[in-house]
Structure 1
Amino acid sequence: MQFASALSEISDPQRLAEHLVLQVNAQHMPATVDLVLLFVNAELQPVIHDIAKQVRSELHARHILAVTAESVIGTDKEIERKPAASLLAMHLPDVSINAFHIADDEWETLLTDEGAFREKLEFENLRAFILFGDPFTTPAIQLLDACSAVFPHAPVVGGMASGITQAGQVRLLIDDDVHSSGCIGVSFAGNVQVDFVVSQGCRPVGHTFTVTKATKNVIFELDGESPVMKIETMLNALPESEQQFIRANALLIGRAIDEAKGNFGQGDFLIRSVLGVQAQQGSIVIGDLIRAGQTVQMHVRDAASAHEELKLLLEGEMLLADVPAGALLFSCNGRGTRMFDAPHHDVGLARQVLGNVPIAGFFAAGEFGPVGRRNFMHGQTASFALFRPAAKSES
């Protein structure tokens, strides 16, 4: 198993493709490249097929998947909001790969018929999925829920294409086919282990509450009282410096992932936005479905917390396993220099902890990654997939 990553900021498509290939060849990849994942800044959308075709031809790649993005990640850099492309090339002996596209007119059947969903994505000895979706035509939450239910042992990583403002602008490419809607993906089976690191970059504020009344995504009661009143009381009890920080940053809400855990801490919550307040009722509207009985806690996102959490998670991963052969990174388009003072934060920290591991990815408009035993779509996260050969007992 061998990986190579590459990054180019050349705007001419032919020279850009040549530059990417040159970097891959310099890393002494074997003659057989099984898969290339190509990430292209949205400004280069009109020529994505030309770039992908040239890269695939010159690397003799069996498969190539490509997606447009606002910003791309490669080797040790994050190139934000300007023409660039990155890739991760994979040589995967004894690994089976299945690349697929889900079209708009397939969703209704696939998401209501488990048999049809299984038939579309079934793969013997399935290990993991990588998915890239068009945010205008991909029902991501339902898709990820279906993957969790039907393929519980094959987690999902990836993200929504970014850098687009309306339906039809996205470009999703599999080999020679270019799509402007739907979802593309690849599944892995055989001699591969894919581990995941999902850093939500938030710290909890105050104490937990129990939802006592809710409908859909509206919370009407926390601990039997108005959510607005309960949250205001909790915030007023915090030190003044903390209150000032929260006032200057968006307050988020986390719902407990595993209610049975009891003692909750950082990382035990799925973070969602607070979309609004219904002042007359004292209720709050959040970016997720919620029900009575669930545990929630307010959170705040800051650069220091995001840095420390990601560092700890990556260091923990290195304690448990060997250095990965390669890695994918899907970072929220609200991270990068929009969150951190210095550029290249997430990929730089990954290289610092993981070593000289080939890495590529993009800034997504919603990142996919497992938390616990379920797949979720996140916001403001850094979501990693780390590739290694499977343990002998598993392959």
Structure 2
Amino acid sequence: MKLFPCGHATHPRWRMAAALVLEQLRARMAQPEYASAPTLGLLYITDHYVNEARALLDHLSGELPGVTDWSGTVGVGVAANNAEYFDQPGLSVMLLDVPADQYRVFSGVAPLPTHRRNGGFAAHTALVHADGHTPELAQLLAEMAARTDTGYLFGGLSASRTTSVQFAVGGDGNMAGQGGAGGVFDAGLSGVAFGAGVALVSRVTQGCQPVSALHRITAAQNNLVLTLDDKPALDMLLDTLGVSLESDPQPALRKVRATLAGLVDAGEQPRGQRRMGHFGTDTRVRHIVGLDGLRRGVALADAVQAGMQLAFCQRNAAAARADLMRICAEIREELSPEELALAPDMPGRHAAPQTQRRICGAIYVSCSGRGGPHFGGPGAELHIVRHALGDVPLAGFFAGGEIAHHHLYGYTGVLTVFADSE
């Protein structure tokens, strides 16, 4: 694979933004190190353009007839390799140089097959865009993961203050059966499944820092945590924060509102970094949505059950920056093996240098609660990624929730890079 052409722009008028992006794409496609005839496009828009989503997709498809497949969605912000357009008109496009037999665009009207048929396409991983209001979304993500060989999904939930849209066009124009949708959808799941021949590396970065130890939920009902380590959950929360609802309720409630809960599924072994007050990648952060004074319980924005583990946490910009740099370093290490290795049959002598895998492009999906000034200034989050990985092609969006593995996360970033050998 060659480098993926990408382009991004902001303008009050979508046609002007599209013209600027097309100019960038064509300029890169003319350069020898970039792909000259990619067929798969990723399209991310901010909600300022959502009413023109159909016209925008049709315009880009008409101007780039060689790009026969499109996927993407809307966010309150979009990401590029050196900038973010947050809470303003924005457009980010990347064209992937992926063999046509190594990907499939899917949606509700053209779902990913459950089983491989007659030696046909087999999904290895999948980029998923989803509407957060879709019923039983967690179960749908688990089902989608089961349709891939690895069970690994990456992506995020559409985020819009008006209509949420997704783009999904496969083949020459529209998918068979999508009718008047024209490649623009407003519910369910869509995305791109990739075959085993597409090399990618994906990591999750957390944006919250635990302020308590990891406790076990010992009693729960629906979304209400009743006891932690056999002690009333509300008492454990108030003790952690050092506040009292009886003696000083207003400051106590302010602290509770600034606190979240990190959950680990029952029976799941904690993974990732937990030292020095960091969450592992298995932790899903959820809002505290209520307190039950009678039963001394804590209500969360997710179903809970006995046996799960929970740690109270708070958003922390410094921890988010450090963890983002950590996952970038892990990606670099995975793509850059030891340059010299001892030849097994020649002690004291070195074998030929191992090949370093180049990053052809990257997709970054970050929580809408992390964008803007949370990292210290506009575009600071993307500058960290660029400083760590270099000036690689990148597109993405700021989501209403992030998807990684088969889980739905919050206040996280999901960075996925496509690699090649050179």
2:239 and 2:279 mapped to 1: Cα distance? 24
1:335 and 1:16 mapped to 2: Cα distance? 25
Alpha-carbon shift at residue 8 of structure 1 (Å): 0.9
Which residue of 33, 36, 46 maps to 2:38? 33
Work out whether 1:71 is the aligned partner of 2:77: yes
Q: Which is greater in Rg? A: 2
Alpha-carbon shift at residue 137 of structure 1 (Å): 3.2
Alpha-carbon shift at residue 354 of structure 1 (Å): 0.5
Aligned residue for 1:240?
none
Aligned residue for 2:60?
55
Aligned residue for 2:126?
129
Q: Is the 8 A contact 1:227 1:283 kept in 2?
A: yes
Q: Is the 8 A contact 2:202 2:414 kept in 1?
A: yes
1:324 and 1:225, CA in 2 relative to 1: closer, same or farther beyond 3 A? same
1:156 and 1:280, CA in 2 relative to 1: closer, same or farther beyond 3 A? same
Work out whether 1:170 is the aligned partner of 2:164: yes
Helix, strand or coil at the partner of 1:288: coil
Q: Is the 8 A contact 1:274 1:286 kept in 2?
A: yes
Aligned residue for 1:6?
7
Aligned residue for 2:416?
385
1:44 and 1:236 mapped to 2: Cα distance? 46
Q: Which amino acid aligns with 2:384?
A: L
Aligned residue for 2:248?
none
Uncovered stretches (5+) of structure 1, i.e. residues with no partner: 238-242
Q: Is the 8 A contact 1:132 1:183 kept in 2?
A: yes
Moved over 4 A (4+): 115-120, 261-265
Q: Give the aligned CA root-mean-square deviation in angstroms.
A: 2.9
Structure 1 stretch displaced more, 170-179 or 307-316 = 170-179
Aligned residue for 2:255?
247
Alpha-carbon shift at residue 154 of structure 1 (Å): 4.0
When you count helix as a share of all residues, which structure comes out higher? Answer: 1
Deviations 1:327-377 (A, max 9, x none): 01111111112523311122111101000110111111111112xxxx211
Aligned residue for 1:316?
330
1:65 and 1:151, CA in 2 relative to 1: closer, same or farther beyond 3 A? closer
Alpha-carbon shift at residue 187 of structure 1 (Å): 0.7
When you count strand as a share of all residues, which structure comes out higher? Answer: 1
Q: Is the 8 A contact 2:101 2:121 kept in 1?
A: no
1:119 and 1:306, CA in 2 relative to 1: closer, same or farther beyond 3 A? same
Q: Is the 8 A contact 1:20 1:55 kept in 2?
A: no
1:225 and 1:330, CA in 2 relative to 1: closer, same or farther beyond 3 A? same
2:388 and 2:120 mapped to 1: Cα distance? 33
Aligned residue for 2:19?
18
1:65 and 1:264, CA in 2 relative to 1: closer, same or farther beyond 3 A? closer
- 1:328-367 matches, within 5 Å, as 328-367=363-402
2:11 and 2:322 mapped to 1: Cα distance? 34
1:185 and 1:380, CA in 2 relative to 1: closer, same or farther beyond 3 A? same
Aligned residue for 1:280?
294
2:214 and 2:361 mapped to 1: Cα distance? 38
Structure 1 stretch displaced more, 181-190 or 350-359 = 181-190
Counting matched residue pairs gives 368
- Identity value in percent: 22
Q: Which amino acid aligns with 1:158?
A: G
Work out whether 1:256 is the aligned partner of 2:253: no
Deviations 1:241-286 (A, max 9, x none): xx99x93872111223564459954233322222211011100111
Q: Is the 8 A contact 1:194 1:387 kept in 2?
A: yes
Structure 1 stretch displaced more, 87-96 or 379-388 = 87-96
Report the TM-score, using the length of structure 2 for normalisation.
0.79
Deviations 1:85-113 (A, max 9, x none): 1111111237522112115xx9xxx9xxx
Q: Which amino acid aligns with 2:319?
A: S
Q: Is the 8 A contact 2:113 2:147 kept in 1?
A: no
Uncovered stretches (5+) of structure 2, i.e. residues with no partner: 175-181, 244-250, 336-356
Q: Which amino acid aligns with 1:255?
A: L
Q: Which amino acid aligns with 2:403?
A: F
Aligned residue for 1:303?
317
Q: Is the 8 A contact 1:211 1:219 kept in 2?
A: yes
